[in-house]
Amino acid sequence: MADNLAVLTEKSAWDARIWSFLVELAEYRSAKSVMIFLNMPTEPATTLFLPSMAEAGKKIVIPYCEGNELRLFHLQDVAELERRDAFAPGAFGIIEPTADWRAYASRQVDPQSLDLILTPGVAFDRCGGRLGHGKGYYDRLFKKTRTDAKRIGLAFASQIVESTPMSENDERVDAVVTEDGVFRRSE
C-alpha cells in the first residue's frame, strides 16, 4: 500500500510539473480553442488541468471516437464531466460525451477552429515522432486541422525515446511537454 501511495504522490508531482511547463508556452497562452484528451490512468492527469483552462478563458474541446474518426465536443463547464447523462466511458474505456450530448449542434466543434491540440501517445521522439495505440485516430484528426494549429504531446519523460516508427500516414507533433521540461521538434 505504501508503495502505491509513493507512486501516486510522484505521479501527482509529475502532473503538476507538466501543467506548469505547458501554461508557460506561447502556444498555450495565445490559444483560444484548445483540444485536450481526457486521460487514461497511465497518462498525465489532464482532467486536473481543466479548471485552470476554464479560468483562463480557453474554449475546451474534448475528442471522442465515432467509428474510425475523432469528433470534437465543446465542454462548456468542467462540472459536466460529473454528470452521468453527459459523460460516460466510451471507446477504449475513455470518458467521452454521451450520444445524446454529442447530438447538440452547439457542442460540435470543427477541427479547423482548433488553435492547439494536446495529444497523448505511447512514445515520442525529439523529431516530433509520435507513437499512438495504432488506430490512427490522431493522425487523421491532424490532417483536418489548420496548418498553423500547434500539436503538443503530453507525456512522462520515460516516454521520450530515441526514435519512433513512422509511416507516410503518421503526423508529427511540434513539441512534447513532460515533467522534465519541453522538448521542441528538431529535424
| Closest alpha carbon to 178 in 91, 165, 161 | 161
Instruction: Report the chain's C-alpha Rg in angstroms.
Output: 16
The greatest distance separating any two alpha carbons of the chain, rounded to the nearest whole angstrom, comes to 48
112-124: average pLDDT: 97
Judge whether 174 and 183 are in contact, CB under 8 Å: no
pLDDT digits (tens, 9 = 90+) for 38-93: 998 889 999 999 999 999 999 999 999 999 999 999 999 999 999 988 999 987 78
> How far apart are the two ends of the chain, measured CA to CA in Å?
44
